[in-house]
Amino acid sequence: MTFHSSRSSLRKRLLMSVICAAALMMPLQASVAVADDVTVGQTFLASGLDPAQGSNGWALVTHGIAEQLFRVSRHGEVVPNLASSAEQQADGSWLVTLAADRFFSDGTPVTAELVAAALNRTGEANASARATAGRLTFEALDSATLRVTSEQPTPILPSILAEWAFPIYLETEGDPLFTGPFAVEQFDAGTSIAMVPNAFYADADGRPDVTIRRIADGQSMALAFASGEVDMAFNLPVETLSMFEGDEDRAVTSFPVAYQYMMWMNTSSPALSDVRVRRAIDLAVNRDDLVLAARAGQPATGAFAAAYPFAAEGPLPHDPEAAAQLLDDAGWAMGSDGVRSKDGERLELTLWAYPQRPDLVTFQPVIRAALSDLGIAVTTQVTESPGDVAGSGAFDLFLWAQHTAPAGDPGLFLSLFFETGSARNYSAWSSEAYNATIEALRTAIDPAERIALAQQAQELIAEDAPVAFLVTPEWHVGLSERLAGYEPWGSDYYVIRPDFGAAQ
């Protein structure tokens, strides 16, 4: 489906509404030269426009549609966005002051009452919004001031409000409206989003129309980029980069990201319920081999990229002999066919990955070979619905990519993915010692104490091995001439920003 036929009419309607609402609107600068309509190719796309559902909030922010009260700068600092400040009160609550002259894409001013309505709804609907400090409650004190109380006291509210579960939106009879630099013109679920500049966002005249196309896999993305179908190809597979060497019309930019590649181990799977088996698998994987396969990145040291002060110290061990001894101790004897067995059951596991992160599929044969050498028979599977498979628990091993500190703090990831009963505890792991550590992290104020607790949590994870942290990756973005000045930052959290497609 093409969307270009109606874009100009929507833009005219939006600009006309600007004229009619001039008294309410922030000043716009004079018109400047704008790049032609831009098409972005990505392997991921928002599954819907309701930010309270699933991971839609993250996707809508990365698409340039939605914004939060606070955001993370290109330097990794939490900075004000739709808010201008946040101050903690003596009773533990926070007063958040909104920035002046901010509007939804229909010209409605952003007020404390509308923000409270949106975020209270999200807090009720989305477990991810309750991960770091429990349920947050928002109360409008006046048009520009919010009182925020948290179920569990927190010293880091600005960081929490920068998490992907907290974009601001306006409920309407139709789709929600947002405050970002681009407004949705048409949404085709699973296929594309057509966007126009948000006329109520500063410098709207300096932005092009943008279409985001979901392309199922990295190889298809590279072909679309080579043929000129897309101006940006986000996260090209490393094996395709040679296609663009010497191409004067296309360039590839590589950049380190704060994601971690990891492998969930389902502790409810019969074989993996034994910590010795999980630790054996962790020891059998050679992170250097994975970096070599991806031709980029660094071996992981723990849950966070090494640049973070709360990252674990490395390197993680690779010891096939110790791994074999653990399996022997667990009663898994090597058979004549090279596969271990116990009580008549062969040690057979299924390893899942998903094509939206091409490196994970690249890792599958490397990990399968390492585990085969250990006497574990591995079958590989690929799914385009990773959240469904992981959430169902119908897997043994699952390769996963995750930004583990999207708001610059370790609390969200460590809580949301590992606490007992948490919404995304895909490994079904439970540890009372770990839960106590996260409870202490929630209320810790001193930065040094937060670092120590985050590192302690990673030690407990390493000891019980519900996950194997693998690689801190590097990604590759293809750019056409019209996006020659684009600089990627923030991993895939802020792909489309206010300066996207502006004339250089």
pLDDT in tens, 204-249: 999 999 999 999 888 999 999 999 999 999 999 989 999 999 999 9
Work out the pLDDT band at 275, boundaries 50, 70, 90.
very high
Question: Which phi and psi angles does 478 have, rounded to 5°?
Answer: -90, 135
pLDDT at 504 > cutoff 60? no
Of 221, 228, 303, give the one whose Cα is nearest residue 262: 303
Q: What is the mean pLDDT of residues 316-342?
A: 98
Q: What is the pLDDT of residue 490?
A: 66
Which tokens belong to 466?
């519900």
- CA neighbours closer than 13 Å in the CB half-sphere of residue 173: 0
**Could you tell me the CA-to-CA distances from 387 to 184, 406, 423 in Å, in that order?**
25, 18, 12
pLDDT at 61 > cutoff 60? yes
Strand partners, 250: 480
Q: What is the mean pLDDT of residues 276-295?
A: 97
8 A C-beta contact, residue 429 and residue 466: yes
Q: What is the pLDDT of residue 7?
A: 38
Work out the pLDDT band at 35, boundaries 50, 70, 90.
low
- What predicted TM-score, i.e. pTM, was given to this entire model? 0.85
Sequence letter at residue 136: L
Lowest-confidence pick of 66-70, 102-106, 368-372, 500-504: 500-504
Q: What is the pLDDT of residue 31?
A: 37
pLDDT at 19 > cutoff 70? no
- CA neighbours closer than 13 Å in the CB half-sphere of residue 258: 26
Q: What is the pLDDT of residue 502?
A: 76
pLDDT at 123 > cutoff 90? yes
Q: What is the pLDDT of residue 491?
A: 74
Distance CA 364, CA 381 (A): 9
pLDDT at 401 > cutoff 90? yes
Q: What is the mean pLDDT of residues 414-438?
A: 97
pLDDT at 1 > cutoff 60? no
Beta strands of 235-281 (E only): which ranges?
Answer: 250-256, 259-265
Sequence letter at residue 69: L
Q: What is the pLDDT of residue 10?
A: 38
Work out the pLDDT band at 22, boundaries 50, 70, 90.
very low
155-201 residue pLDDT tens: 999 999 999 999 999 999 999 999 999 999 999 999 999 999 999 99
Which tokens belong to 77?
């600092």
Percent pLDDT > 70 in the chain is 92
45-57 residue pLDDT tens: 999 999 999 999 9
The DSSP code for 52 is T
Whose structure tokens read 């096939």?
320
Work out the pLDDT band at 492, boundaries 50, 70, 90.
confident
Q: What is the mean pLDDT of residues 133-150?
A: 97
Percent pLDDT > 90 in the chain is 85
CA-based diameter of the chain, in Å? Answer: 82
pLDDT at 5 > cutoff 50? no
Question: Which phi and psi angles does 192 have, rounded to 5°?
Answer: -165, 160
